[in-house]
Amino acid sequence: MKKKILILSGGISKERLISLDTGHQVAKELKKNSYKVKISEPDHNLEKNIKTFKPDVIFNALHGQFGEDGYIQTILERHKIPYTHSGVISSSIAMDKEISKKLFIKNKIKTPKFFTYSYDETKLNLIKKINKKLNFPVVVKPLNEGSSVNVYICGKKNLSKIIDKLKNYKKVLIEEFIAGREIQVAIMGDKKLGAIELRPKRKFYDYQAKYNSKAKTKHIIPVDLPKFKLKKLMNIAYEAHKIIGCRGVTRSDFKYFQGKFYLLEINTQPGMTKLSLVPEIAAYKGITFLKLIEWMLKDASKKK
């Protein structure tokens, strides 16, 4: 008898639409294959839906704040029902770019140089710090958003405008801009699944490049790298996955510049939409979308 799967989808983050799409795609695939499926928002009806539906596994299709930062995971732990993706602590660490980058540095994984900016500092002081530590252009991004939400490449001229745009965040990350190739790596438990290169027509692989089919980002697989370089890249992604304590599927985002790999961040709940990268990498490796989802559900049930 097929298992009952409760899919958490939607939520209140800026990635709500992506989450709804992920939830819909996963539900559609499971229903086609005789699973009993229910989709639930992570709202006041969640507890009721868990109690009445009595799922065997919860597929967490939420993205962004409250969905992949340890918050919903804390709630799910109380119900003692297996759920997909990483647990409370690893989700929290991966979502916080400052903490995760410090862990990368501690473990000798290259990541762009950075510092954080809080809004009690002056912009003049910020410019001085950039000139001293990083140089322009820089990348400005929130500490805890996903899908490249509110990520900007800034020169000295537009820095002030972007900083004002992000003032609803208490603190933002100011990061060294690394030019070069954009490469993403998928890890599937203990398996180094594969890599894909992205060539966006936009300035970089931002939110529009990720989720708007009209942006026409070119997906290149296999990645054109020497075998030893590709092996090194896969090993770095796997090491990051283990350092943070992730489980299930993760996707690590890299820049490759002048022969070096720079890890930008690790995503504990990569998208599962038609334009998503992990299903594309899995398909290239001969793993269908259904098999990928089923593996994730099985992996959830093996949670330590």
- Name the nearest CA neighbour of 194 among 280, 269, 274: 280
Q: How confident is the model at residue 203 (pLDDT cuts 50, 70, 90)?
A: low
Average pLDDT, the chain: 90
Catalytic-role residue among 9, 10, 11, 15: 15
Q: Which residue has the higher pLDDT, 248 or 13?
A: 248
Query: 243: closest CA among 142, 114, 147, 111?
Result: 111
- The answer to whether 125 is a known catalytic residue is no
Q: How far is C-alpha 51 from the geometric centre of its chain's CA atoms?
A: 30
Domains and their CATH numbers in the chain: 4-84 (3.40.50.20), 94-109+180-301 (3.30.470.20), 114-176 (3.30.1490.20)
> Does 267 participate in catalysis according to the annotation?
yes
Q: Does residue 253 carry a catalytic annotation? A: yes
Predicted confidence (pLDDT) at residue 208 exceeds the cutoff of 50: no
Is 271 designated active site? Answer: yes
Q: Answer yes or no: 251 catalytic.
A: yes
Catalytic member of 83, 211, 238, 262? 211
Mean pLDDT score, 257-270: 95
Report pLDDT digits (tens) over 2-47: 889 999 999 888 889 989 999 999 999 999 999 999 999 999 999 9
User: Residue 304 above 90 pLDDT?
Assistant: no
For residue range 213-236, list pLDDT tens digits in order: 555 789 999 999 999 999 999 999
Which of the residues 41, 69, 265, 299 is marked catalytic? Answer: 265
> 246-255 in b/e burial notation, b at 16+ Cβ within 10 A?
bbbbbbbbbb
pLDDT recorded at residue 166 = 87
The active-site residue out of 23, 64, 194, 271 is: 271
148 pLDDT tier (thresholds 50, 70, 90): low
Q: Is 176 a catalytic residue?
A: no
**15 in catalytic set:** yes
The model carries a pTM of: 0.89
